Amino acid sequence: MSKVSLINDKTKICEKLLTAVNEQNNTYIQKIISSLVPEEIAEILEATPPQERHELWLYISREIQGDVLVHTNDEVKTSLLEQLNNKEIFELTEKLATDDITDIAQAITEKERQHILSNLDTNIRAAVETSLRYPEDTAGGLMSADFISIRSNVSLEVVLRLLRKIGSIPDSTNHLFITNRVGLYQGILPITKLITSDEELLVSAVMEQKPAIQANTDSSQVAHLFEKKDLISVAVTDENNLLLGRITIDDVVDIIREEVERNQMASAGLNEEDDLFAPPVKSTKRRTPWLGLNLLTAIFASIVIGVFEATIQQIVALAILMPIIASMGGIAGTQTATIVIRALATGKLSFQNSQHLLFKEAGVGMLNGIIWAIITGLATSLWFNNGSLGTIFGIAMLINLIVASLAGALIPLMLNKLKIDPALAAGLILTTVTDTIGFFIFLGLATMILV
């Protein structure tokens, strides 16, 4: 089924549920909700206004409410949790994996968190408290304590007896972790080797020494590691190599999806965790600072134009052509910035190898500049029957496209060096640079040559 079809189906389901809520058609609501998986229910809740959202929540089976919550964005999750008392919050976390319990614990008040932790099994509580010590976007904040560890000095037969005694293994388990007697990580025992090797062999004879991820590793680096190594799960350790938990492929899928959404929203100064139906005042508070910052940058560009007010008054054609210069520079810069931001996000670009990219983008800017300088210069000459104006426009176009390409590469690199998210701030700065430089070059040349 195509992506469009999936979206349309989701939209239709949401519309039918909203209609059923308004008509108080309880039977139909229950029928639809029971046919959906937690991820689908979470998406529908995010696409539902607050009042109807809380009504739909009451139709969700208590057994899956926790699974639904962990798949909603932070703001929706918080709004739903605010409607529950401590007992209800604890009940929906009872059957969740430790990383999912951590996710919910991060969305509630300290008092509610302590109530949940105090009622958890001792081992689970210790695991959740360990995860809570790390930021959400690190391996430690993402890890789960649902794993099986063994010693290297036992036989495979002993390991098999242990698994039979446990009766089940955690989801996405393709290997067992090996630790020494104090819990230090040593390697892994693949399930395939456990099944196919002689039972009399010791674990140490068939184990593999695979590296673990440190708990303070950024989530984006975790995702890159899974992508490059084709991993299903990986061990997470502290700075002393003590085994803390594991990260599985389903966690990484969530990381990648959230990263894509974050970059899309960040380009407009927004947060992917925002509630689509948040109150107007709340949304206004978030967006106003960015509008104010944009106003300041626009004023700066206007000041540059104001310097050449007399020139514009004498040659009206300049006012007609100025937006073209700014627009072309903006697009060229955005193209380069998008490539650089993506390369930074995937770990393919750093200050060490950025010099080659700068030369390449300068070359692209120059070639595009020459092509479009010739085309737009000739078009301007014919349009206004003024060869000098066409020449000036072409030169300004060439310079602005080169500058825009360099700015599109340099700005994300500098922001990344300053620990500022390039996806969040690069667009605003880039627009200011390309507009200001474009106006200054074009109007400056016109003032020197035509006036």
Closest alpha carbon to 61 in 83, 91, 24, 85: 91
Q: Give the phi and the psi of residue 190 in degrees, each rounded to 5.
A: -60, 140
DSSP H/E element including 248: strand 243-248
Where in the chain are the domains? Answer: 3-139, 149-249, 280-450
Sign of CA dihedral 180, 183, 184, 187: positive
Q: For residues 299 and 293, what is the distance between their CA atoms, to the nearest angstrom?
A: 10
What's the confidence (pLDDT) of residue 188?
A: 95
What's the confidence (pLDDT) of residue 97?
A: 86
Question: In this structure, what token pair is assigned to residue 300?
Answer: 């700066």
Under a CB-based contact definition with an 8 Å cutoff, are residues 108 and 81 in contact? Answer: yes
Print pLDDT tens along the chain (451 aa): 444 344 447 777 888 888 888 888 888 888 888 888 998 899 888 888 888 888 889 889 888 999 999 888 888 898 899 888 888 888 888 888 888 898 899 888 888 899 888 888 888 899 899 999 999 889 999 898 889 999 999 999 999 999 999 888 888 889 999 999 999 999 999 999 999 999 999 999 999 999 899 999 988 889 888 888 888 899 999 999 999 999 998 888 878 777 766 666 655 555 555 556 666 777 667 667 766 777 787 788 888 888 888 888 888 899 999 999 989 999 999 899 988 887 887 677 776 678 888 889 899 999 999 999 999 999 999 999 999 999 999 999 999 999 999 999 999 999 888 888 787 778 888 888 899 999 999 999 999 988 6
Hey, what CATH class is 149-249 in?
alpha beta
CATH topology of domain 3-139: MgtE N-terminal fold (1.25.60)
What's the confidence (pLDDT) of residue 286?
A: 67
Is the CATH number of domain 280-450 1.10.357.20?
Answer: yes
Q: Report CA-CA distances (Å) from 182 to 125, 179, 186.
A: 20, 8, 11
Do 3-139 and 149-249 agree at the fold level?
A: no
What's the confidence (pLDDT) of residue 306?
A: 86
